[in-house]
Amino acid sequence: MEVKVHWIIDGIAEMDVETLEEAEQKVDEVLRAVIADNKELVELLGARAIQGKAYLPGSEDDIESSEDDIESKESKED
C-alpha cells in the first residue's frame, strides 16, 4: 500500500543575540548543517522547506494575552 505522510517539526529556540536577524541566521546555519549531515531528511522523508521567524519574547508567544488584548480593544470601541 502506498501512502503519504505529511510531517512537521516544530520548535522554539531561545538565544541571546543583538538582532532578530542574527537569531534567524544562527538557527538557519544549524538547520542547514543538520540537513547536510542527514541526507535521509531529503531523500527518504522528502523534506522540502524549513521556515522560521524571529520575534521578541511576549510579542507572539503568548496567544492568550493577544486574544485578551483584542477583546479589550473591541470593548473600548463599543
Which residue is it, cell 522528502?
46
20 neighbors 55 (Cβ within 8 angstroms): yes
Averaged pLDDT for residues 13-34: 95
74 pLDDT above the threshold of 90: no
The model's pTM: 0.65
Return the pLDDT at 4: 92
Residue spans of the domains in the chain: they are 20-77
Q: Is the pLDDT of residue 16 over 70?
A: yes
Task: Report the C-alpha gap between 59 and 53 in whole angstroms.
Answer: 12
Distance CA 11, CA 38 (A): 18
pLDDT tens-digit map of 33-70: 999 999 999 999 999 888 899 998 887 655 555 556 66
pLDDT of residue 17: 96
